[in-house]
Amino acid sequence: MAISSPGIGSNLDVNGIVTKLMQVESQPLTLLNTKEASYQAKLSAFGSLSSALASFQSAVSGLANISNFQSLTAVPGDPTILSATASSSAVPGSYAVNVTKLVQAQTLVANGQASSTASLGNGATSLSFQFGTAGDPTSFGAANSVNIVSGSSLENVRDAVNAANIGVTATIVNDGSTLPYRLVFSANTPGASNSMSVTTADTSLQGFLSYDQVSGAPQNMTQAAAAQNAALTVNGVPVSSLSNTVTGTIPGVTLNLAKVGSTTVNVARNTASVQSAVQGFVKAYNDINTTFKNLTSYNADTKQAGPLLGDSTVRTIQGQIRHTLSSALTGLGGSLTTLSQIGVSFQKDGSLALDSTKLQNAITNNFSDIAGLFAAMGKTTDSLVNFVSSSSNTKPGNYAVNVTQLATQGSTAGTLAPTTVIAANTTFNVTLDGIIASVSLSAGTYTASTLAATIQSSINSTPAFSSAGSSVRASIDGSGYLNITSNRYGSASNISISSGTGTSAAALLGAVPVNAAGLDEAGTINGIAAQGSGQYLTGAAGSVVEGLKLQVTGGGLGSRGSVNFSQGYAFQLNTLASGFLASPSLISSRTDGINSSIKDIANRRDALNRQLTAIEARYRAQFTALDTMISSMTQTSTFLTQQLATLQKTN
């Protein structure tokens, strides 16, 4: 008789016996699982460390920006008159500002008409618009014509002017009088040089659509608003501006004019931003220090150790950060070289603390030096040599600057007649900074100055150039030469003009214009030839000044002083954190090793599981055989017992 379940024949608990035996056999598997859990905990801990380092890097990279420590505020006494902003180049002080005019576009109003839809004029004609400065007939440029078809009404004239897109907006206003419909022309561009002169050959329209500022004919339109620049005085000095946004008048300060009136603008150092930046720096370090503690500490009460207690990688990272903060900076050339000088110091528990009183004293006495403690910063001794940027390879130090060639701008120049006639449909082929485009000039008779202004405006408004950030400056010199200069510096700067359609280029620049390509800056930094591009010199690769970028805005050739360069604490810590988070790095190498160990454990576990399966099968086979044997012996014993009992009864 077959046994259907282990132990039934012998009453042995085969399943229980095998289970207990397998528990003993599985102890190595339990040890592997425990070890894997430990590795997983370390892996998770390194993930937390990487996340904390990323947050730390984000904080210190923002603090490595010089603007956090050199910003200034510009506060108007009366913010209804103007608002103001200051850049780091502004000079602290109080400035008296008196705004007498806001920039304004000209508005002309025609006499009223009984109907806006009735036909006007004697037939087909045109309106001519010119722009210039009121009171100076010679300043008005070429005429822009608007065709007026026969039978046109006031509404038709309005629509024709708007469709012509010549910088004028036409509207019709109903003033409620007996002749209520009044045509209004408004210049789209404000400023004194954008005053309109309006003429027409149709005598029946001249009576209400004429405002001739060129020939001196009667002006039959009413000027409702004059074209004017913004006008103001700053500390008593008169200033005229083409915009209500005034820059450059107060160095480093932008004024946004809102209304006429007098006020003051107080420019002061933004000490609050410095205090906030230093507090942010202390907090960033203390946050990462807390993470170090949590991962590496041991709690004697709970007898629980952090997952990275004693880990060499964490000790190395923590040690490098603390060493950076404890080392004095070099290359600053100022009085501040350590954090303790501005009140930042280590405590017994390894955290940083800030002495606000000491920081305030540093702000008061050494404001300009604080930025160098945190950001990568260069200070030049020549005001026309400016520090622009650096790289992580730039070494702190004091470096001499020598200029052998100043950057120049590309230009073209040629003779220009006192008056120039530009034919209809005239275009020129212009090459500017390597970009080629067709530029149109409006037909008309130009003076030398108005032609220069028109050429400049036409080139600068060409989309192919403006979208690339290229522009020109056109002027007439004392000898009557037209000079057109690219606003870019360096070998990429160039300008040339050739004939397209209509009037030839010779009318602008003569038969043989003089073209000159721009030159790049050339010189040395620390005695090593620098790479020149435009007005910029960049330190040579492989040298101590690698990546040090300076802008030379003028001055002479030869020695141009020196630049003191330093890498502040925030800059250095940002570089450190980047290295810790890169791949390969200390952390990535450590986590790669842990992942390799986890993979090895998985392979060993798989092999052990296969071995345990075989062992369990062997145990079950052995106990099944024992069960069968005991069952057979039991059956024999029972038979013999029965036979003996029968013999006894027989006897």
Pick the closest to residue 479 from 420, 413, 419 (CA basis): 413
Supply the pLDDT for residue 175: 93
For 146, 183, 215, 328, the CA distances from 205, given in Å and listed in that order, are 14, 12, 17, 82
Q: Which helix (H) or strand (E) holds 313?
A: helix 312-326
CB atoms within 10 A of CB 339: 24
Q: Judge whether 116 and 154 are in contact, CB under 8 Å.
A: yes
What is the Cα–Cα distance from 406 to 484, expressed in whole angstroms?
Answer: 20
Pairing of strands 298-299, 444-447: unpaired
What are the tokens at 332?
């600053």
Question: Dmax of the chain from CA atoms?
Answer: 167
Helix axes 271-296, 27-63, angle to 10 degrees: 170
Residue 234's H or E segment, with its range, is: strand 230-234
HEC-encoded secondary structure of 497-546 = EEEEECCCCHHHHCCCCEEECCCCCEEEECCEECEEECCEEECCCCCCCC
pLDDT for position 3: 43
DSSP string, 80-101: TTEEEEE-TT---EEEEEEEEE
Kindly state the helix (H) or strand (E) to which residue 298 belongs, with its residue range: strand 298-299
CB crowding 507-543: b at 16 or more within 10 Å, else e = bbbbeebebebbbbbbbbbbeeebebbbbbbbbbeeb
Cα gap 158→148, rounded to integer Å: 10
d(CA 275, CA 295): 31
**Amino acid identity, position 163:** A
Q: How far apart are CA 242 and CA 192, in angstroms?
A: 8
For residue 549, give both structure tokens: 């970028």
For residue 79, the number of C-alpha atoms closer than 13 Å in the C-beta half-sphere is: 4
Question: Cα separation of 433 and 513, whole Å?
Answer: 17
Paired strand residues for 549:
389, 538
Residues 6+ apart with CB under 8 A from 430: 436, 437, 438, 439, 459, 462, 465, 495, 496, 497
Residue 567: CB atoms within 10 A of its CB come to: 24
User: What pLDDT does 471 receive?
Assistant: 94
**How far lies 274's CA from each of 87, 303, 458, in Å?**
15, 44, 46
pLDDT value at residue 70: 80
Where are the extended beta strands (E) located within 417-480? 419-422, 426-432, 435-441, 444-447, 472-476
- Contact predicate 196/207, CB 8 Å: no
pLDDT value, residue 334: 76
Sketch the domain layout of the chain as residue ranges.
72-103+230-269, 107-225, 379-407+521-567, 409-516
Interatomic CA distance for residues 230 and 246, integer angstroms = 9
pTM over 0.75: no
Burial environment of residue 336 by CB neighbours within 10 A (0 to 12, 13 to 18, 19 or more):
buried
State the CB neighbour count (10 A cutoff) for residue 420: 20
Decide: 123 and 145 in contact? Cβ < 8 Å.
no
**What is the per-residue pLDDT for 1?**
38
Q: What is the pLDDT of residue 135?
A: 87
**3-state SS assignment for residue 149:** coil
Which regions in the chain score pLDDT beneath 70? 1-10, 651
User: The dihedral of CA 187, 189, 191, 192: what is its sign?
Assistant: negative
Closest CA relative to residue 521, chosen from 555, 496, 545, 546 = 555
Element (DSSP H or E) covering residue 636: helix 586-650
CB-CB contact of 131 with 141 (8 Å): yes
Angle at 258 between CA 252 and CA 259, to 5 degrees: 125
Residue 553's pLDDT is what?
94
Write out the two tokens for 528: 């090593």
